[in-house]
Every structure is written in C-alpha cells, then in structure tokens.
Amino acid sequence: MRSARVAWRHSLRFRLALVYTLVALALISMIGLGVMTLLLRQMDSQFQTRLNERADTLAEAFLGGGQNLGKSPGGAGTYTMIIDEKGQVLAATPSLRQYEKAPFPFAGQAEVQLNGSPARTATRKLGDFGTLWMALPEDALVDARQSATRALLLALLVTPVLMLIAGWWVGRRALADLGAAADLADRIDPTRSVATLPLPAREDEVHRLLAALNRLLVRIEAVQAREKQLLGQIVHELGAPLTVLKASLTRASERTHDPEVMRAALVADELTFTAQDLMQLARGHLEMKVAWHFIPAVALRGRLDRLVPGTGFAGDWGGMLLCDPDRLTQALRNLLANARRAAGPDGTVTLNLTETADHVTFTVRDSGPGLPAELGERIFEPFISGSGSSGLGLSVARQIARLHGGALTAGNAAEGGAEFVLTLPGAALGDDEEEAAPAEAAPSA
C-alpha cells in the first residue's frame, strides 16, 4: 500500500517554516527599525554637534578679528552670513553674495534649501555688531538615511525567502523520523499483528510521540486479542447446538416435507455457515472453502424463495450454474435480507439473473432509500452496515463472490433504491476444466 503524501501547503514542516519565517521577519523588522532609528539619531546628534562647533568657531574668529568671512573661514561647504540689528545682510560667503545688502531671507528657519541641497542652520550673537548665521549641508546625512532605509528594505525582502528555505530544510530533517513512522504506519495491516513504530535515536518530542503511539498500539492489540478470544468462545458455544439443530431439522423435513420445517432447516444451515465465518473472523481473517457443483439455476431460486419470502425473481432461471450452492445461497440470501430490511414490509425486492457466455450476473434491487453516499466501499467492511444489520453479511457475500472468481459491487439504481450486482464466471468450461474443477475443490465446509 502506497503511503499518502501530505500536500506541501498542509504539511507540518511547511507550517513550522512559515511560522519561523514570520516570527523571524517580525523580530528582524523591530530590531532593524530600532537599530536604524538609534543609528540615525546618533548621526543626527553628531551632525548637530559639528554644526554648533563650527558656529562657535566662526563666532570666535569674527570677534577676534582674525578671519575674513568672505573667504569662508568655516571651511569648504559651509555657508555664512553676517546680519545687522536691522536684519540686513552685511556680508556673506561667495556662494551667497546675492543676499548682501538685502534683508535676511531665512529668519527663523532651522533648515533651508541652498543650491538645491538641504542645509541645517545655526546662529550666534556677535555682541553689538549683529548676528552670525551659518548653514551646513545635510547631503551626507540624507545619503546615510537613504542607505540605511534601502538596506533595511532589502533585508526584509531577502530574509523571509532565506528563512523559509532554511526552515523547510531544518523542519524536513527534524521531522524525518516522524515521516518514516507515518509511512510504516500506513503499511501496518490491522487484521494481523500490530507492529510498533521505530523510535528515533534522539529522545526529543518526536521520540516521545512515537513512544506514546507504540504504547497505544500495544493496548489496541491486547484489546483485539481479547475481542477475538471472546468471539471465538461465543461461536464455539453456538457451534454444537446449531449442528444438532441442523441435523434434527433436516431429518424432520425429510420425514414430514413440511414447508415451515424445510425453511427452518435452511435457516439452521445458513446459521452454521455464519458461525463458521465468525470463527474465521475471530482468527483474524475471513477464509472459506468452496465445494463446486453444477446445479440448475431454478434450484437456487427455490432455496432463496424459501429463505427470503416476498422476493421477486426476474430474468432467465432455466440454465445451469457452476458454483458452491450453499455458499452462493448464503451470499444471495445476505443481499436479499439486507434489501428486505431497507425496503420494509411494504417495499419490493427483486433478484434478476442474466447469463452470457462469459458471465452470470445476479442483480438485487430494492425500493428502499438507497445506500448512504458517505459509506462508499466501506459498506463491504465487517460490521459496517447501512440497513441496521450486524454488518457482516455484505463482507461475507463479497468474499464468496471472489472465491468463485467473481465480484460484488454496490450502488444506487437510477430509479431509486440500492442495487447490488454479483457477477460469477460463466459455466461454459472445457472437458478438462470440468474434470479439474471438482478435483481441485475443497470439500464443503
């Protein structure tokens, strides 16, 4: 049996990898934003400190009379202007000469645009002479902000992909033992001895889970053993009384030819087969022996008519059948009994026989509600029933069909109700096959 594979989007390792990736992404985002914010604040603080230091140096140089502001004493990239008490620009660096002898244009602005670049400003009092205004370009600070933002965005885009791949690989290795155990569990046949799952070398959560499953399997096997033992004891206790009852009813029917006694004898005969089937089931598998006979189809019809009164028969019953009469009667009786239960006392049950050169087909139809769609093929499993019965009859019927080289299928008829089709190989055999079939067949159970 091939083990079922879980779709990748539903697999545990994918979910673990996805959760791991989302958690890692959230942590990286928070940590990255925090680090970038702290870094940019430090850079901003350093820039402001540098601006203040330059402003203080220029003010000291002017008051000391040892510098010429028109020659940019603050260094390259520094903008300076001297403003008098009336707000007029007295002097400026060469790049700002257009503002000289004019009103100061940047009053109260902490940041300005100069020559297409942002610049931060600072002012210093020059005693009674006026005010020193200075601006320092922020190009480097802006570039640093943009670089940090791009780096964070790239990390947020690349990291989830790498995390997902790494998490998938790590999860695959970590859950490899669990996957192997699942594959082995798929191959366990519950009708035989329940095998335990291999435990991984690492005593982790997977080891603990598989160990718990092994203990559960051992308990299940013990319960199954007790159930089989109890079923075997019950069948054994029923076997002897049924054998005596069958023999007594058979002798009584031969003496009296009473129809009711003959019907009771057939029922006792069927119960004997059912008890034997239950015994085989108690041993862990359903095995039956087939005794081949060449019988008229009408004889089979007579037995079924006595076992399930009210059955309607259709088709051609004038031919011959190669089968085990007792077993085939048991299979068809099970189908007809289930159909009668489903149809109710006022419903109809029909058994149709059609024969070709290759196949003999029995079709059982009823006027009941039909088969539950959710059961599907499970309706042929032991103790699964859609009509209120014990659930063993359909399983036995399919087994009998297969022992005859045929098949049993179930469905719902187009006009309503359930439909069971039992197909057997045709009786057109060669001389050698006709002689070999009885010789190879086992005696009737």
Q: How far apart are CA 328 and CA 251, in angstroms?
A: 23
Q: How far apart are CA 17 and CA 172, in angstroms?
A: 10
Contact call for residues 69 and 93 (beta carbons, < 8 A): yes
pLDDT in tens, 320-344: 999 999 889 989 998 998 898 888 8
Q: How far apart are CA 364 and CA 332, in angstroms?
A: 8
Residue type, 252: A
Q: Residue 148: what pLDDT?
A: 82
Which residues lie closer than 8 Å to 402 by C-beta, 6 or more apart?
A: 408
This prediction has a pTM of: 0.46
Q: Residue 401: what pLDDT?
A: 92
Q: Residue 301: what pLDDT?
A: 94
Low-confidence residues of the chain: pLDDT under 70:
1-13, 65-76, 172, 174-196, 200, 206, 270, 273, 276-277, 279-288, 383-391, 428-445
The number of beta carbons lying within 10 Å of the beta carbon of residue 316 is 10
Domain ranges of the chain: 12-170, 190-286, 288-440
CATH class of the domain whose range is 190-286? mainly alpha
What is the phi-psi region of residue 69: left when phi exceeds 0, alpha when psi lies from -120 to 50, beta otherwise? alpha
| SS3 readout for 277-289 | HHHHHHCCCCCCC
Which residues lie closer than 8 Å to 406 by C-beta, 6 or more apart?
A: 359, 422, 423, 424, 425
Residue type, 321: L
Decide the pairing of beta strands 349-355 and 89-92.
unpaired
Structure tokens at 301: 């019809």
Q: Residue 391: what pLDDT?
A: 61
Contact call for residues 215 and 194 (beta carbons, < 8 A): no
Which residues lie closer than 8 Å to 267 by C-beta, 6 or more apart?
A: 307
Q: How far apart are CA 220 and CA 233, in angstroms?
A: 20
pLDDT in tens, 45-78: 998 998 899 889 888 888 876 444 444 444 557 8
Contact call for residues 394 and 334 (beta carbons, < 8 A): yes
The number of beta carbons lying within 10 Å of the beta carbon of residue 169 is 12
Q: Residue 296: what pLDDT?
A: 94
Q: Nearest 5°: CA angle at 177, between 173 and 179? A: 90
Describe the strand order of the beta sheet including 407-412 as a list of residue ranges: 311-315, 349-355, 359-366, 418-425, 407-412
Q: What is the mean pLDDT of the chain?
A: 79
Q: Residue 425: what pLDDT?
A: 92
* CATH superfamily entry for domain 288-440: Histidine kinase-like ATPase, C-terminal domain (3.30.565.10)
Q: Residue 314: what pLDDT?
A: 95
Q: Residue 438: what pLDDT?
A: 45
Q: Residue 284: what pLDDT?
A: 53
> In 3D, which of 284, 68, 94, 289 has the Cα closest to residue 194?
284
User: What residues pair up with 119 in beta bridges, in sequence order?
Assistant: 112, 137
Residue 41's alpha-carbon distances to 29, 77, 109, 153, 317, in angstroms, are 18, 22, 21, 19, 100
Describe the strand order of the beta sheet including 111-114 as a list of residue ranges: 89-92, 79-83, 131-137, 117-125, 111-114
The number of beta carbons lying within 10 Å of the beta carbon of residue 23 is 12
